[in-house]
Amino acid sequence: MKALSKQKAEEIFALENSKGKIVLGADTVVVLGKKVLGKPKDEQDAFKMLKSLSGRAHYVYTGVCFLYEIGGKKRVINTLAKTRVYFYKLSDEQINAYVASGSPMDKAGGYGIQDGGLVRKIQGSFSNVVGLPVELCKKIYKKIEKETGNDQTCD
């Protein structure tokens, strides 16, 4: 996740209109045991992912990378947020209804915590599970702001 978040940030940082700006790249995955669950390939894959998560705990990791310049030198802050997520035990009918909604198809692990009804509890950052650990990003941004003396708005 850290490598992919850095790659995403590097691509934007290289653009001409990014000169002098602070760039953020992020990438999120769901990890169940030793298996990484990305975005489902199709509805059948989404069903299998959700079935495997049902009644179990897993982790959500988001790689976060900030790129910026000070005195013409590129600076990189690349880190990781981790949240433990506990799913309710879901019936096949609940999973099928959720898959039919289309919501799982563009989300790591095949679910969106913001959709409700799937997650029993979390330990860590809610916004990390949504896809961007806002608290962590604010903390890093404040550090960059102090270091650069640059009070930028986010584009």
Asked if residues 23 and 9 have their Cβ atoms less than 8 Å apart, the reply is yes
Q: Alpha-carbon distance 2 to 140, whole Å?
A: 15
Q: Alpha-carbon distance 68 to 81, whole Å?
A: 20
- What residues are annotated to the active site? 27
Residue 144, token pair as written in the block: 């960059």
Question: Which residue carries 């962590």 as its tokens?
Answer: 136
